[in-house]
Amino acid sequence: MTSKNKKRKMVEAIERRGCLLVYPLQNRPEPASLWSELYPRSKMVWEWDADADGRVSEMWILREELSRSEDVVYAKWFRNRATFFSKKVFINLLAYFGTSHERVHLPKASEQALESFLMDSPQSTKIIKENLGWQGKMMESHYNRAMKPLWNYLFIVGYGEVDDSSFPSLNMAATQNLYEDLWLASQQISEEQAEKFLLEHLGEKNLFMKYAKRVHDSARTLADKRPSR
């Protein structure tokens, strides 16, 4: 199967399932992944040496290409894992979380990072750290804490990679900028309508739906974690 055909099958699988990880978690059947969709009978072994399964590295390359395609949406979402969404599910997640309705009150550091992305997107990991003055090991945990809510509530998305360090760095963009049409569409959907859609398309027992419910419910506590002025 050619790379073009594999990418087409990946998009079809994402559209059909709504949400998919790139790789399975410890080869468990759930949550579903692109690997399990393309290679349902093959156990994935995370190795990158000369004897490794070439399909593992190929999928990583296809993941990067697909994240730039704008056919589907890519983010570090489910348990901070590489996750793809169909546009319909993504729009409804934005509405369900209240992300596009200004119902999520971010911590100050997360607000600073988001403001930088809104001013200039996409930015690589290296560039966003430089712009915010968060370079170095001492600032790594601060950076990770600031970015986590942006990923969880889908304020930002992944958009390809850039070679600006020893390893390729993820390019990140403000959802509101890169997918303005999806952002505006989500503003027309109520929280109740979004929840109904997600339950119908993902299912109440679906692990992605359960994770979305936890993210949704945790939005209420974010404001409590903001330092008093």
pLDDT band per the 50, 70, 90 thresholds, residue 228: very low
Q: Is 81 exposed, middle or buried (0-12, 13-18, 19+ CB in 10 A)?
A: middle
Calculate what percentage of the chain has a pLDDT beyond 90: 84
pLDDT score recorded for residue 229: 44
pLDDT score recorded for residue 225: 54
| Contact assessment for residue 77 and residue 214, using Cβ atoms and an 8 Å cutoff | no
Give dist(CA 124, CA 9) in Å, integer.
Answer: 28
pLDDT score recorded for residue 101: 94
Give dist(CA 90, CA 154) in Å, integer.
Answer: 9
Average pLDDT of the residues in 89-118: 97
| Contact assessment for residue 25 and residue 81, using Cβ atoms and an 8 Å cutoff | yes
pLDDT score recorded for residue 21: 98
pLDDT per residue as tens digits for the range 182-226: 999 999 999 999 999 999 999 999 999 999 999 999 987 665 455
Size of the chain, expressed as the number of residues it contains? 229
Q: What is the 3-state secondary structure (H, E, C) of the chain?
A: CCHHHHHHHHHHHHHHHCEEECCCCCCCCCCCEHHHHHCCCCCCCCCCCCCCCHHHHHHHHHHHHHHCCCCCEEEECHHHCEEEECHHHHHHHHHHHCCCCCCCCCCHHHHHHHHHHHHCCCEEHHHHHHHHCCCCHHHHHHHHHHHHHHHHCCCEEEEEEECCCCCCEEEEEEHHHHCHHHHHHHCCCCHHHHHHHHHHHHCCCCHHHHHHHHHHHHHHHHHHHCCCC
The mean pLDDT value of the chain amounts to 93
Give dist(CA 200, CA 152) in Å, integer.
Answer: 21
pLDDT score recorded for residue 65: 95
pLDDT per residue as tens digits for the range 47-74: 878 888 889 999 999 999 999 999 999 9
Q: At residue 115, does pLDDT exceed 70?
A: yes
Q: At residue 165, does pLDDT exceed 60?
A: yes
pLDDT score recorded for residue 99: 97
pLDDT per residue as tens digits for the range 72-82: 999 999 999 99
pLDDT score recorded for residue 226: 53
